[in-house]
Structure 1
Amino acid sequence: MTTRTDPQSDDRTVLLRGGEVHSPADPFATAMVVERGHVAWVGAEGAADAFAAGADEIVDLDGALVTPAFTDSHVHTTATGLALTGLDLGGAASLAEAGALVRRYAEEHPGDRVLLGHGWDASRWPEGRAPGREELDALTGGRPLYLTRVDVHSAAVTTAMLDLVPGVRSLDGYRDGEPLTADAHHAVREAAHAAVSPRQRTEAQRAALRHAASRGIGTVHECGGPHISGEDDFTGLLRLAGEEPGPRVVGYWADLDVDRARRLGAVGAAGDLFADGSLGSHTACLHEPYADAPHTGRAMLAPAEIAAHVVACTEAGLQAGFHAIGDAALSAVTDGFREAADKLGLARVRAARHRVEHAELLAPEAVAAFAEFGLTASVQPAFDAAWGGEDGMYAARLGAERARSLNPYAALLRAGVPLAFGSDSPVTPLDPWGTVRAAAFHRTPEHRISVRAAFTAHTRGGWRAVGRDDAGVLVPGAPADYAVWETGALMVQAPDDRVARWSTDPRSGTPGLPDLTPGAGLPVCLRTVVAGRTVFPGPIG
């Protein structure tokens, strides 16, 4: 890809030509014009000559693919940045290997007030257990350490970390010798995050946004809240995104206090407003007990509380939303929406475009309720790739039969439920093409959706999830948020084929997408543009 450029500004005219432009306006487009941060034209190479003389920048795509930039509908930005720049145990293949990484990190960071780490997953380790407190005390020399499980719903900590939080040993979720959950975890997380300086926090946010841009992501939905990141973290991120070039940041604040969410600049009192926890930490709320634990998890919101929140948000003109994974939690959520619709009227609830995060163990009646109330399912296909299958963590927690019902994307689409894809980073990586692949090649075949539907859920679906129907697609008038990709031959999925067979017949009139069959290399991002401004390659700011 070669360019002829003038100094970059938002009001420039840019002509991209000589590639493949993924646009429903012209399935055979090879060129695109951007003016004042919006798409002005898409079309064929020959017609592009008329725009060359007035262009401030001409990009020779050299056969590259241009697509709408991805939207990641569920991100924890600061935590992602800290994982990128700090102690990440996601690659540890055993408890012993994780311990070695903890020891090395502690030795290399003698000045840190609190050591922060993320990503351990005992379900993948041959030892089959989490690191113990006394082990971590020895590895860190007795220093405070906060080490979150991959799902961020539990944490292993040192004795010194517990000592920073008076009374933590009497809180729900504290069991001596086990990872912290529930209120005990929230209290220790707050203390750990308080040890991060404003400078460290801003640098972590920059690192996360820079990484997102390098993956072709033009927008992230930040999911903050009083038990997640803190007000200063949330407002600081929104301010940073407004002041420095980079991916757009749409903020959700998970709080029953609707006025506070509005005051902080959130578009919704939503996101990780917990109706339950996670399957990995045994805190997702189920109708029937876990297969590997003698309980049903933890309910965090009752239907009446959910209904009151939906009413308050709807009347305030904000989105409501809830974190709900287990079938019992999802029943509580849909019961709450039904109660709210009875009070406000179904049309008002549907028009507000409320959303539910994760929505994993969905019974058919819950799917129908999502469609009835116009709820967006903000989901993470990488969860299935990481933990699905007959031998995965899901099967261990629920048994193989119940595990096969998780993440039913095809059923949601058949019911007309809008999908918005995300990563829940740092729970799973910022990897949009990998996410599209995970949905198209779901470990449970009946839940698979087409590559085209998955791509739409990760581009236009994220914009629709915030109430914007005019973006996430490269057509004249849309925001010029796009990415340029180095990729192999493009494939056009046959209309009568859900996943396996492919067609390259140009008569289909369907814009092509990369071959994402397992084993094929994923596209490489060459450039990411937001509102006409290049945010990758190169650092943000």
Structure 2
Amino acid sequence: MDGKGAIKLFYNGSIYTKFDKKSPVESIVVKGDRITFYGTSEESMKRYATIAEQIINLEEKVVFPGFVDSHLHLDDLGSSLTYLDLRGTDSIVELKERLRSYRSRNPGARVIIGMGWDQESFSEGRWPERSDLDGIVNDVPVFLERFCEHAGVVNSKMLDRLESVSFPEKVLPRSRDGRPNGIVKEEAASYFKKVAHDLIGNEVGNLSVASNYLLSLGITSIGFVSCGTESVEYLANEASRIGIRVRAYMRQEEAGGIEEMRMRIGENSYLKINGIKLFADGALGAATAALREPYEDGKDNRGMLIMDSGSLEREFEKYDGRNVQFAMHAIGDRGIDAVIEAVSSFGRDRLVEPRIEHCTVLREDHINRLKELRIGVSTQPAFVIDDWWAVNRLGKERSRLSYPLATLQKEQLKVGLSTDCPVEPPNPWFTVDAAVNRGEREKREILKYSGEERVNILTALYLYTTGSASLLMDSDVGSLEVGSFADFIILDSDPFELQDVRKIRVQETYVGGVSRFRAKK
């Protein structure tokens, strides 16, 4: 390829252009923002040394294509870097202490937002309630979100903002006195989350902070799911300056004018609106993921469908012929059923590369249907680590094909990896480790029943680059082949020679041939 722009020659490295096989090259040449050559250092010097503006000695370091995270929440990541961090809390007592400490450090806050707790880890063996929060903060609204982002807890001051909206008890449970107990799930959680963020005001500046953080981790392209119009407007002006490539999937309620928005922002290689995020069901942690059979630990509870197959089809119809890719959240097997039924009934050929987000509780009969309908899957291997309670919730039989990876890959489905960040940490090496070891280091029980779902490191890296790029419908990223964007990372060590890849650090990140992050020495 003979592109326009300055020539940069990188030599004396161990450069992996793609992970379909383990065969690094020594040199790449960048012309403008794309790869124009790869091969030996001797050949690149012979052909390009006299015309290159820059010649960079890689000093035998390892170079990979930039990671492509196919499913994360850029806005929530930005928020999580500044809000009350509740990850790792092991009791309601500790949650309350962290809330107390945060309040004392932020006495002028008009609202408090926290993220990351998991009631399954609490020594009290219960969910936190409004009474727990009221004893610490009763003068400003508080919204503390469970790490899955499908549930939370609020204080009485926040409940006062319920106004005239009503929710069923399954998403807004009540105490004996008839008042909401402060636990909020699904649409009720979404309502109070919006109230909290509205009280804070414009937060789009956090997108830059989040993007720079991702670049420092070696992530160069992302699928930004549940993206709002304010975020799109901000990224239209800032994405190319920041240097991360964003493929946006709009919130359903904000997607009506998608064509006009595409025209207004002027899509480019840094920002494209791919489609719309839909929800078929809830989450396992909140016991709202839709299951065909009841939860093992939940009596008659089978979770809940947020959109059944008919509702999904109506959404397909609304955007028929408008070049919209649907990214459909489906965790439980009944949620997966709804997506499969909707795609089949509507007609796969009328849809643009439909994809399922999570696809956690898989059944054998799903596999052929997913293949036949060519439905892609964005999966999060690190869920295996944090959902340590999964076997208790699903039972042994359902655990066998839950959190699938190797099965999807062997059956040649279109699969990409992701973190669902900030649900999971965005560091790609934690995800790679989870895909390869599947909780062995952490002694996760699910490994006993689903050990065959592990993949080797080469496969994990392929799915996290080329695989995710395919899900995002972007053939220009995810590899360093000739013609691809020059998005690559320089590492401090070779993953193929390490026992624990989680120790790897990125030394430099390039996007479009431009250095966007350099680690301090």
TM-score, length of structure 2 as denominator length = 0.88
For 2:294, what is the secondary structure of its paired residue?
A: coil
For 1:288, which of 290, 293, 309 is the aligned residue? 293
Give yes or no for the alignment of 1:246 onto 2:250.
no
The question of whether the paired residues in 2 share the 8 Å contact of 1:71 and 1:217 is answered with yes
Residue of structure 2 aligned with 1:481, choices 464, 487, 506? 487
Aligned to 2:473: 467
Q: Name the counterpart of 1:320.
A: 326
* 1:194 equivalent in structure 2: 198
AA in 1 matched with 2:94: E
Normalising by structure 1, we get a TM-score of: 0.85
Residue 185 of structure 1 and its aligned partner are, at CA, apart by: 1.6
Instruction: Kindly provide the amino acid, as one letter, of the partner of residue 137 in structure 2.
Output: T
Q: Deviations over 1:58-93 (max 9, x none)?
A: 222222111110011111111111111221111323
Number of residue equivalences:
487
Q: How does 1:196-345 map to 2 (within 5 A)?
A: 196-198=200-202, 201-224=203-226, 230-242=228-240, 244-255=241-252, 259-265=256-262, 267-271=273-277, 273-294=278-299, 295-341=301-347
Instruction: Give 2:453's aligned residue.
Output: 447
Q: Distance in 2 between matches of 1:396 and 1:113?
A: 40
**Are the aligned partners of 1:268 and 1:321 in contact in 2 as well (CA < 8 Å)?**
no
Which residue matches 2:513? 532
**Deviation string for 1:360-397 (max 9, x for gaps)?**
1111222212111111101111111221xxxx221222
Give the root-mean-square deviation of aligned CA atoms.
Answer: 2.2
- Residues 219 and 520 (structure 1 numbering): CA distance in 2 closer, same or farther, change over 3 Å? closer
What corresponds to 1:506 in structure 2? Answer: none
CA distance in 2, matches of 1:28, 1:115: 49
How far apart are the structure 2 equivalents of 1:302 and 1:527?
A: 45
CA positional deviation for 1:128: 2.3
Alignment check: 8 A CA contact 1:261 1:268 kept: no
CA shift in 2, pair 1:165/1:135, >3 Å: same
Please give the secondary structure, in 2, of the residue aligned with 1:113.
coil
| 1:484–1:260 CA distance, 2 compared to 1 (3 A) | same
Report if aligned partners of 1:410, 1:448 keep a CA contact under 8 Å in 2: yes
Does the Cα contact within 8 Å between 2:212 and 2:242 map onto a contact in 1?
A: no
Aligned letter for 2:375? L
Q: Residues 255 and 269 of structure 1 are in contact (CA less than 8 Å); yes or no, is this contact kept in structure 2?
A: no
In the TM superposition, residue 95 of structure 1 has moved relative to its aligned partner by: 2.3
Relative to structure 1, is the Cα distance of residues 446 and 26 closer, same or farther in structure 2, using a 3 angstrom cutoff? closer
Code of the aligned partner of 1:240? E
Q: Deviations over 1:19-51 (max 9, x none)?
A: 200025992411111110001111112223222
**1:494 match:** none
Correspondence 1:11 to 2:17: no
Q: Which runs of 5+ in 2 are unaligned?
A: 174-179, 263-271, 439-446
The one of 130, 149, 152 equivalent to 1:152 is 149
| Structure 2 residue aligned with 1:62 | 59
Amino acid at match of 2:298: A
Runs (5+) with no aligned partner, structure 1? 1-9, 492-513
Any conservation in 1 of the 2:249–2:274 contact (CA below 8 Å)? yes
Deviation at 1:538, TM superposition (A): 7.4
- Cα deviation for residue 483 of structure 1 reads 0.8
Structure 1: how far apart are the matches of 2:75 and 2:251? Answer: 16
Please say if 1:135 is aligned against 2:96: no
Establish whether residue 438 from structure 1 lines up as the match of residue 434 from structure 2. Answer: yes
Q: Which whole-Å deviations, capped at 9, do the CAs of 1:474-497 have from their partners, x for residues lacking one?
A: 111111111111114x53xxxxxx
What is the aligned-residue identity percentage? 27
The structural deviation recorded for 1:101 is 1.1
Q: How far is the alpha carbon of 1:258 from its aligned partner?
A: 5.7
